[in-house]
Chains A and B, each alone.
Chain A
Amino acid sequence: MKHTTPQEDFLKGIWRENPVLVQLLGLCPTLAVTNSVANAIAMAAATFFVLVGSSFLVSLLKKFIPGEVRITTYILIIATFVTIVDMVLQALFPVIHKDLGAFIALIVVNCIILGRQEAFAAKHSVGRSVLDALGNGIGFTITLLLMGSFREVLGNGSFLGFRLFGDSFEPWVIMILPPGGFFTMGFILLGLGWWRGRKAERSEIRHWAHSLRAERKEGAA
């Protein structure tokens, strides 16, 4: 097993192993509720709570859960947290609850959460698991915010409901409609692919120059 430091546990989920952008998990909520920044924030917060709560509980109880029923138990734990979030949101923030609608309940099947339980919380200490969940939660939040701002600014000409442009701006309504979600995510991934390709190319050149120098040194000796 690869040994990791607590910092790595926390940081890897934010960028290097970002659950959405790199692992392509949890795409449903990422595309479905990011037609405004406010919805994106609410969804991210709800998922964050469920993720951290489940990771904490699963790592705490891992010794008592027999392997054969672990998935069922994880789902039970996750579904409980989701139900709690659902009821609390409905009681305290009914307007947000109405906007997100069925997608709150669908947090249960967000692959990120079950994935973290199975891949990390089930075999690490409570502290590490919570760090891991925090990192992944932040990574998920960043992606949702990115999508939400992009789509709301272009599709509605506003950010968090504040008008950004004058009346002459004609909003690209398509961006807040379903196709806009696919396009935004698609172009973000294409951009990432381009960025990765360039990075790989550069490191290859650097590597090549290095080996060339080493060869020359050898020749001189």
Chain B
Amino acid sequence: MDIKRTALDRQGQANDAPALVPSVDIVEDQNGITLKADLPGVSKETLSIDVDGDTLTVEGAVALGESKELRALYAEVRVARYRRSFVLGRDLDTERIEASMRNGVLTLNVPKREHAKPRRIAVKAE
């Protein structure tokens, strides 16, 4: 999946649009951080993952492919966009983020930099 590393688009335009905040699970283990986000209605094509400095932004447009003549009777989801940003620590390697999308769930793996992995430091006796 394409992960953009740009500093543009920060000046507002798209980011001012109202968006829902997706639910996430975030887990850290020795290798890095795994983030799962619920993005129902978002496909690989309408998802964007942006890394700007140490800020990771996930944004996705909901595309249901419904017919134009559909008239709403009842709606709990009233915004067709999800967005959420996270600040990554410097110990995380933003160059090696892996992303996959399945059934509306995004899984992101952000590995730790090699030097940031836990190491056992031997204590020498004098």
Q: Answer whether A and B are interacting partners.
A: no
